[in-house]
Structure 1
Amino acid sequence: MATEVTDGPAAGETNGAAVEKTVTFTAVKPQVFVESSKVSDAVAFYKSAFGVEEVNRVTHPKRKADQELPLLLSAEIKLGSSTILISDVSDDSAAPPKAVGSGLVICLETEDIEAAINTAVKAGAVAEGEISEGEGAWFGGRVGKVKDPYGVVWAISTPAAKKEGNVEA
């Protein structure tokens, strides 16, 4: 499903009336930055831990003088119907400066949280805390967390039970 954002009256005018311009977004692609030259390792980890499929790889056309391998700008991985970009941090990357508490958590849904967490831990992730249930869980279902070797926290949850009635915004 695409999301549309409408620009206000500044978008243009026709016969004195404002014409709104609509922008349609077709995807959201989070980008995860890992330590330089670790993208291949990270992709291998995500394949093992979460069963991702690598669909594309983009390398910098010029090799760095101090590196044998070309700089990997990004690897595009597919997880379910979602796409995530994994990139090396470099001097010229778009990575924000490292900060504690960036607030990034990637959420995955599955019916078998225990198996998903065990698979991720066997691949090299670290389980964080216990599996939460009910009101204490973020999504109203069950949720557990793992931190991967690259510092990304993954919340693994069951789909939330659908509630009937009005939902407040």
Structure 2
Amino acid sequence: MSDYTYPNPPVKGGAVVYLSVDGAVKAAEFYQKAFAAELAALVPPDDKGRTMHAHVYVNGASVMISDFYPEHGHPPVAPAGFSVMLKVNDADAWYKRAVDAGCTAIMPLENMFWGDRYGQLKDPFGVIWAINGPLLK
């Protein structure tokens, strides 16, 4: 890593999601297709193909990603008990792009009683994404 200069891109958003997944580089690539993410930084993978840090921008906010490192106290665990919500202007377009890229629809988009259009997807890495936008009229 001595030839690598670590970029320090700006962190965007008030709360930043940091995901640990099996295949962080692949997740960063997938999020570019599914959620129109922009790659901000990527630490090159180690000799086992793992990266300690990837940084993407999704819908104007930072999402950080790393592989699991059990030898450093970060063992593999399944994502549970949370979702990443994307507040967007066109929920249907975002939802469709994500499904077309390979996300699994787990809650179809619907106009909800609280006044938003909402649905949920699961990405190939086990993370649940909630798409939330204006009502479809």
Same fold (TM over 0.5): yes
Distance 2:126 2:78 in 1: 12
Cα distance, 1:129 vs structure 2: 2.4
Distance 2:41 2:73 in 1: 19
Instruction: Report how many aligned residue pairs link the two structures.
Output: 123
Given candidates 16, 22, 29, the residue that maps to 1:29 is: 16
Structure showing greater radius of gyration is 1
RMSD across aligned positions (CA)? 2.4
Given candidates 92, 106, 114, the residue that maps to 1:114 is: 92
Q: Kindly tell me: are residues 94 and 87 of structure 1, through their superposed partners in 2, closer, same or farther at Cα, counting changes over 3 Å? A: farther
- Normalised to the residue count of structure 2, the TM-score between the two structures is 0.76
Given candidates 100, 108, 112, the residue that maps to 1:134 is: 112
Which consecutive unaligned segments of at least 5 residues does structure 2 have?
1-12
Contact 2:41–2:56, Cα closer than 8 Å, also in 1: yes
Q: Kindly tell me: are residues 94 and 84 of structure 1, through their superposed partners in 2, closer, same or farther at Cα, counting changes over 3 Å? A: farther
Map 1:23-102; keep pairs closer than 5 Å.
27-35=14-22, 38-59=23-44, 63-64=46-47, 67=48, 69=49, 71-93=50-72, 95=74, 98=77, 102=80
Distance 2:16 2:75 in 1: 16
Map 1:137-148; keep pairs closer than 5 Å.
140-148=115-123
Contact 1:109–1:159, Cα closer than 8 Å, also in 2: no
Distance 2:26 2:78 in 1: 23
Greater relative contact order: 1 or 2 (C-alpha under 8 angstroms, separation 6 or more)? 2
Identity across aligned pairs (percent)? 29
- For 2:99, the aligned partner's letter is V
Given candidates 128, 132, 135, the residue that maps to 1:157 is: 132
